[in-house]
């Protein structure tokens, strides 16, 4: 491989299917999609926009479950093969280490989680209600059994909080996408920095919408992947049609030491809602990536994405091909 993957681990058990013969795309779907159907749990109306990571030689994750009351909740889940998932029927009960944090921020709703291993634990970020208004919640777990909640990173309104997998320049780094109270008709990606996961500042603009498939708003997706070309960042972009929003998946490559500097940005989407399960559901025409597994040895990527705000889908690609394609179409 010409492109080096940095700091990712060997993951020989990563889910994988070779690119189908005749496929001209850089990212292709798992043939048995969706891998998690909306009714997996007794309580679930839908299960989508969810995050998975390697865990104890197998896999674990945090899943967005909208229940039948249509409350947005987070549930832990486990898998041997990262394709077939068992989710806890009960939602995550967050524990606050600090009583003041608990008092100030009682659980109301949470959605669109991301999970990343940094240093000694799995960090979870999600869109968290504060006074019933969305902002970025942060917590952590060691075992996917007990989950600890920290102070919210930002004020409302904010969404799509995504951590980088290591400190950069001595600071934790997170994407977010400031927004408004509703189904935001705008949105740029920003980076914020923190010495301690509690106080966030040194905000930097990364990029905004720029036309076509990403003309309305954009937001970070899976945890960025460190490569010799820069941070490979898969994100979503939204187009507004006469019939509503269309969510697609694209890629950009950011500077390693100053990740608010965009080196390359693919002008085509890499995956857009085209299959029935992406075009038909509670919110039609949505592919919404929240996680990617990466095998450092082969460069294989398994991308987990929400389908039509209803199920979880899986797609494949390789770091090398996505990086090359992004550079060539930037
Ligand atoms: C966004 C978020 C996502 C959702 C998407 C499409 O604003 O609410 O959770 O998947 O809209 O409805």
List the domain boundaries for the chain.
28-328
Angle at 15 (CA atoms; ends 10, 20), nearest 5 degrees: 120
Whole-number CA gyration radius for the chain: 18
Does ligand 1 have an atom closer than 6 angstroms to the CB of 147? no
CATH number, domain 28-328, options 3.40.630.30, 2.115.10.20, 2.60.40.10, 1.10.150.20 = 2.115.10.20
Per residue in 53-111, pLDDT (tens digit) is 999 999 999 999 999 999 999 999 999 999 999 999 999 999 997 888 889 999 999 99
CA distance 33 to 281: 14
278 lines ligand 1 (CB under 6 A): no
Q: By the 8 A CB rule, do 277 and 310 touch?
A: yes
Pocket test for ligand 1, best of 65, 71, 112, 308 (most atoms within 8 A of CB): 112
pLDDT exceeds cutoff 70 at 1: no
Q: How close are the terminal C-alpha atoms of the chain, in Å?
A: 21
Q: Is 37 in the pocket of ligand 1 (CB under 6 A)?
A: no
- The CB of 111 under 6 Å from ligand 1? The reply is yes
Q: Does the pTM exceed 0.75? A: yes
**pLDDT-derived band at 296, boundaries 50, 70, 90:** very high
């Amino acid at each position: 491989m010409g492109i080096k993957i940095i700091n990712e681990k060997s993951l020989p058990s990563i889910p994988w299917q070779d690119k189908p013969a005749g496929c001209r795309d850089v990212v292709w779907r798992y043939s048995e999609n969706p891998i998690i159907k909306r009714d997996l749990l007794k309580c679930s109306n839908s299960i989508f926009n969810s995050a998975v990571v390697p865990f104890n030689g197998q896999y674990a994750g945090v899943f967005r479950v909208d229940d039948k009351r249509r409350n947005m909740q987070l549930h832990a889940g486990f898998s041997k093969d990262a394709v077939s998932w068992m989710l806890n029927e009960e939602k995550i009960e967050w524990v606050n280490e600090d009583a003041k944090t608990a008092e100030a921020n009682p659980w109301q709703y949470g959605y669109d989680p991301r999970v990343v291993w940094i240093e000694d634990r799995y960090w979870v970020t999600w869109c968290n209600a504060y006074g019933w208004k969305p902002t970025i919640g942060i917590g952590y777990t060691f075992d996917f059994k007990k989950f600890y909640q920290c102070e919210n990173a930002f004020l409302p309104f904010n969404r799509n909080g995504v951590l980088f997998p290591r400190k950069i320049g001595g600071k934790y780094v997170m994407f977010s996408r400031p927004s408004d109270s509703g189904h935001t008709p705008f949105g740029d990606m920003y980076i914020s920095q923190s010495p301690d996961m509690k106080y966030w500042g040194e905000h930097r603009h990364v990029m905004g919408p720029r036309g076509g498939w990403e003309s309305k708003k954009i937001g970070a997706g899976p945890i960025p992947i460190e490569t010799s070309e820069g941070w490979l960042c898969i994100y979503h972009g939204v187009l507004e049609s006469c019939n509503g929003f269309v969510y697609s998946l694209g890629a950009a490559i950011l500077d390693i030491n100053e990740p608010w500097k965009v080196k390359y940005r693919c002008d085509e989407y890499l995956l857009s809602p085209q299959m029935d399960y992406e075009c038909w559901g509670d919110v039609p025409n949505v592919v919404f990536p929240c996680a990617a597994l990466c095998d450092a040895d082969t460069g294989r990527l398994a991308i987990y994405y929400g389908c039509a705000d209803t199920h979880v889908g899986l797609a494949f690609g390789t770091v090398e091909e996505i990086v090359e394609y992004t550079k060539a179409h930037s």
